[in-house]
């Protein structure tokens, strides 16, 4: 959904969310250039495909990485080849039988009507080569999920060791997968594995989800865990998948899960206001020590599934606000079913993390330039994805006032409980430290102790 030519581009400007035309200007980012960024990519898995015709296309990471190189961003960060996750690491969250099913994918796919194969497919919701199912089993699935999970675990390890300020795995972010079955195009929940690794070093981890779908798998995995706060902004209503993620209140406060349901056609100004409202409240009350940000690009206008009117500029603006917290941060991918919009979105997010200025347009020397040009015809392809004023009609900020009031009431109730838990935690830490001093125990410099 792009309108741009050599002279100008349609853009959302100001706070009223009306599309106006202005001259395209180079993209600038607000994060500092001093951040140490690790970028994990396994190009050996980018040619893997789901069932023929499936909307999820891992090849988008190949298109993205090509654009990152064409923009010269790879020279400002450390490019890392991730190691595959081991079955034992996956069993840190997923049940053994399900992990075994994924490992046996070539055998199951080779004889899908065998009794044992049918049992696996039914038990774990992974039909073989089915375009109708969300998660069709295919022979290379183990290689793909081991790479996804391995890279996200490596991101967490890089932060735990203090080697990186920001660690990126755009192939990850599979937030729907449950412990015992696949869901919503997600076979393994690499996010949960990443957060588990971070919890070895950091007392409190904040999980933020920008995907157009509710981050139900991550929320369920940590629901009630006072060391992990999950926050999800997502399209909600009219049967939109997965159908969960409505506002919480006093009755759900103990879950440490904050949800921000959005109506279709929500635009930049509303989205950024809601994000800033939640982020400010959560950071003040929860006081996280590390952040995991799932940057699903299916919230971007023009997606094949999502129906929000969010531009890449708003997406990057939310990321910049997270980076301004100056906390160790993991950036993960997620949804995004328009390959070239997704590649542009995550390239801009990468530049935001690096604090680099970008040109207005996709470089002509990019190997996929002709594909970008066809997508944006008859105009020259811009890096940012803008609203088309002839098609896209984002909801006004005024129309979102009622929803913002609901959000504020929900946040107030949930953060009141979070603040109480935080105070009890600090009191327990203080009492534990005093006891250790009395007993003559060594006190670590960072003051992090397990509280029973």
pLDDT along the chain (452 residues), means of 10: 35 33 44 82 89 88 98 98 97 97 91 82 79 82 97 99 98 98 97 99 98 98 96 96 90 88 97 97 95 98 97 98 98 97 98 97 97 88 93 90 92 86 73 59 39 28
Give domain 31-438's CATH architecture: 3-Layer(aba) Sandwich (3.40)
Instruction: Give the integer Cα–Cα distance in Å for 32 and 326.
Output: 10
pLDDT of amino acid 130: 61
- Cis? peptide before 98, omega within 30° of 0: no
Catalytic residue, candidates 54, 176, 214, 315: 176
pLDDT of amino acid 433: 58
DSSP-derived secondary structure letter, 382: B
Q: Which of 356, 333, 354, 357 is nearest to 345 (CA)?
A: 333
Q: Strand ranges (DSSP E) for 125-284?
A: 166-169, 205-209, 228-235, 257-262
Classified as helix, coil or strand, 374 is helix
The answer to whether 343 and 60 have CB atoms below 8 angstroms apart is yes
Can you read off the two tokens belonging to residue 444? 């670590």
pLDDT of amino acid 383: 97
Residue 431's CB: how many other CB atoms inside 10 A?
11
Q: Is 181 a catalytic residue?
A: no
pLDDT of amino acid 119: 86
pLDDT of amino acid 429: 65
Q: What is the pTM of this model?
A: 0.87
118 Ramachandran zone, left/alpha/beta (phi>0; psi -120 to 50): alpha
Percent helix / strand / coil, the chain, rounded to 5: 40, 15, 45
């Amino acid at each position: 959904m792009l309108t741009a030519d050599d002279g100008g581009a349609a853009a959302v400007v100001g706070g009223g969310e009306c599309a106006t035309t202005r001259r395209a200007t180079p993209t600038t980012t607000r994060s500092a250039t001093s951040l140490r960024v690790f970028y994990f990519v396994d190009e050996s898995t980018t040619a893997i495909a789901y069932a023929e015709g499936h909307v999820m296309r891992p090849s988008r990471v190949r298109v993205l990485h090509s654009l990152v190189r064409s923009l010269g961003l790879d020279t400002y960060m450390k490019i890392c080849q991730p190691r595959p996750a081991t079955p034992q690491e996956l069993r840190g969250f997923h049940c053994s039988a399900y992990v075994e099913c994924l490992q046996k994918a070539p055998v199951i796919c080779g004889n899908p009507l065998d009794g044992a194969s049918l049992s696996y497919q039914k038990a774990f919701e992974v039909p073989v080569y089915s375009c109708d199912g969300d998660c069709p089993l295919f022979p290379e699935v183990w290689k793909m999920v081991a790479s996804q999970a391995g890279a996200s675990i490596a991101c967490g390890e890089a932060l735990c060791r203090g080697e990186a300020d920001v660690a990126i795995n755009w192939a990850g972010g599979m937030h729907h997968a449950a412990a015992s079955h696949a869901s919503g195009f997600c076979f393994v929940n690499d996010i949960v594995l990443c957060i588990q690794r971070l919890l070895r070093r950091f007392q409190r981890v904040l999980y933020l989800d920008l995907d157009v779908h509710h981050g139900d798998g991550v929320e369920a995995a940590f629901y009630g865990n006072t060391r992990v706060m999950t926050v999800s902004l997502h399209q909600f209503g009219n049967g939109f998948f997965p159908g969960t993620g409505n506002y919480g209140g006093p009755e759900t406060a103990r879950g440490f899960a904050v949800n921000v349901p959005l109506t279709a056609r929500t635009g930049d100004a509303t989205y950024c206001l809601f994000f800033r409202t939640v982020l400010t409240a959560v950071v003040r009350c929860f006081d996280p020590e590390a952040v995991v940000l799932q940057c699903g690009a299916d919230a971007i206008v023009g997606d094949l599934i999502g129906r929000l009117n969010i531009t890449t500029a708003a997406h990057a603006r939310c990321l910049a606000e997270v980076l301004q917290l100056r906390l160790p941060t993991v950036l993960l991918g997620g949804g995004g079913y328009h390959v070239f919009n997704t590649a542009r979105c995550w390239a801009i997010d990468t530049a935001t993390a690096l604090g680099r200025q970008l040109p207005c347009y996709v470089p002509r020397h990019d190997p996929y330039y002709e594909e970008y040009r066809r997508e944006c015809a008859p105009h020259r392809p811009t890096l940012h994805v803008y609203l088309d004023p002839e098609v896209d009609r984002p909801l006004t900020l005024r129309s979102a006032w009622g929803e913002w009031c609901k959000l504020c009431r929900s946040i107030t109730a949930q953060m009141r409980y979070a603040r109480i838990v935080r105070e009890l935690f600090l009191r327990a830490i203080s009492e534990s430290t005093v006891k250790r001093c009395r007993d003559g125990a060594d006190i670590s410099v960072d003051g992090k102790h397990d509280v029973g």
